[in-house]
């Protein structure tokens, strides 16, 4: 490249890559690589945007076909020929039941396991249990759903003299097991991260190990445990296969743990594949998907805020 040309280029306004091209070759290449990596990093942002876009693109046409108020109705009967109903409430209520029931089982178990692993277990036991929880986390949900269908449902049927054992309770038991790895590992992290000085101070004042754990360490790890609880909710509300397989049933508002019920995810899973892409029902299913997306989004944002805010003052 002649000197004159180089000078003119240098005088040109610096716009993006042109700026980098006139430098030494290695530098140019390095700059290019950096941009290449940055483009890859933006994929995550693009995917989130694309998810919102496509959920809306398929969901919003609902409002041109049916009155928006129908979404808030108390009946989900989209297959009816005349005047179909698209009330999300029965599905949402079933999701709430399932979340509540599974958290009642999962939270105490998870936090107890976390306390045990972090504060009581020996090193060998600790590594066994942690590996074990990792294995549990990788259990395919369809397999747990199948187990619930084949084994748990008959048990529930006999114990509660239920018609077929396909109840919200059955689903919640499996979901609790699925949420356990999340709850346990995050609470365990939180408990372990409580500074040693807290424990030492408590022990030095004459408190026992148990009192230290329950009155000092656990309260100090409170934020982490709450985050674990919320992530567990996110996991349960988004879980599909297990609920689809055992809670099945008709979309009516559940009244007890032994009611059948159909949660939001299961409704999407069982109906989306079968309806026309141009029906109001198809659009409504995408709106339910959008609702699920925004619920988990909100949960994650709150957790992000909580975990970035907390730091221990030594």
We find the least distance from the C-beta atom of residue 174 to other proteins, in angstroms, to be 9
CB of 268 to other proteins, least distance (A): 5
Quick one: 37 or 256, whose CB is closer to other proteins?
37
Phi, psi of 194 (to 5 degrees): -65, 125
> Among residues 77 and 129, whose Cβ is nearest to other proteins?
129
For other proteins, give the closer residue by CB, 17 or 301: 301
CB of 161 to other proteins, least distance (A): 22
Sign for the pseudo-dihedral over CA of 161, 162, 166, 171: negative
Cβ neighbours, 10 Å, residue 2? 7
Taking the C-alpha atoms of residue 228 and residue 36, their distance in angstroms, rounded to an integer, is: 36
Cα(190)–Cα(114) distance, rounded to whole angstroms?
9
Tell me the DSSP string of 1-63.
Answer: --HHHHHHHHHS---THHHHHTS-HHHHHHHHHHHHHHHHHHHHHHHHHHHHHHHHHHHTTHH
Minimum distance, C-beta of residue 187 to other proteins, in the bound complex (Å): 12
**Closest CB 96 distance from other proteins, rounded Å:** 15
Q: What's the CA gap between 289 and 283, in Å, rounded?
A: 10
Q: Name which of 172 and 265 has its Cβ closer to other proteins.
A: 265
Of residues 47 and 68, the one with the C-beta less far from other proteins: 47
d(CA 85, CA 281): 9
């Amino acid at each position: 490249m002649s000197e004159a040309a180089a000078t003119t280029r240098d005088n040109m306004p610096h716009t993006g890559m042109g700026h980098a091209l006139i430098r030494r070759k290695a530098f140019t290449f390095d700059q290019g690589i950096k941009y290449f990596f940055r483009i890859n990093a933006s994929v995550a942002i693009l995917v989130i945007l694309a998810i919102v876009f496509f959920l809306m693109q398929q969901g919003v046409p609902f409002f041109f076909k049916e009155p928006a108020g129908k979404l808030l109705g108390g009946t989900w009967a989209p297959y009816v020929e005349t005047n179909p109903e698209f009330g999300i409430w029965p599905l949402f209520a079933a999701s709430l039941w399932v979340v509540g029931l599974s958290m009642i089982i999962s939270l105490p178990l998870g936090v107890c396991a976390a306390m045990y692993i972090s504060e009581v277990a020996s090193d060998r036991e600790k590594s066994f249990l942690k590996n074990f929880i990792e294995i549990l986390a990788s259990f395919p949900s369809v397999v747990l759903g199948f187990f619930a269908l084949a084994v748990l449902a008959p048990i529930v049927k006999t114990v509660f003299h239920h018609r077929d054992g396909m109840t919200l309770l059955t689903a919640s038991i499996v979901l609790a097991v699925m949420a356990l790895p999340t709850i346990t590992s995050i609470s365990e992290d939180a408990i372990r991260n409580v500074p040693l000085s807290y424990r030492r101070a408590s022990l030095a004042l004459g408190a026992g190990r148990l009192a230290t754990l329950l009155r000092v360490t656990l309260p100090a790890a409170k934020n982490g445990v709450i985050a674990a609880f919320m992530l567990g909710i996110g996991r349960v509300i988004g879980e599909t296969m297990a609920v689809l397989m055992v809670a099945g049933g008709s979309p009516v508002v559940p009244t007890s743990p032994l009611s059948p019920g159909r949660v939001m995810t299961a409704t999407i899973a069982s109906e989306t594949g079968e309806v026309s892409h141009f029906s109001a029902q198809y659009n409504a299913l995408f709106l339910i998907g959008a609702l699920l997306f925004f619920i988990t989004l909100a949960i994650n944002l709150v957790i992000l805020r909580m975990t970035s805010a907390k730091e221990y003052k030594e």
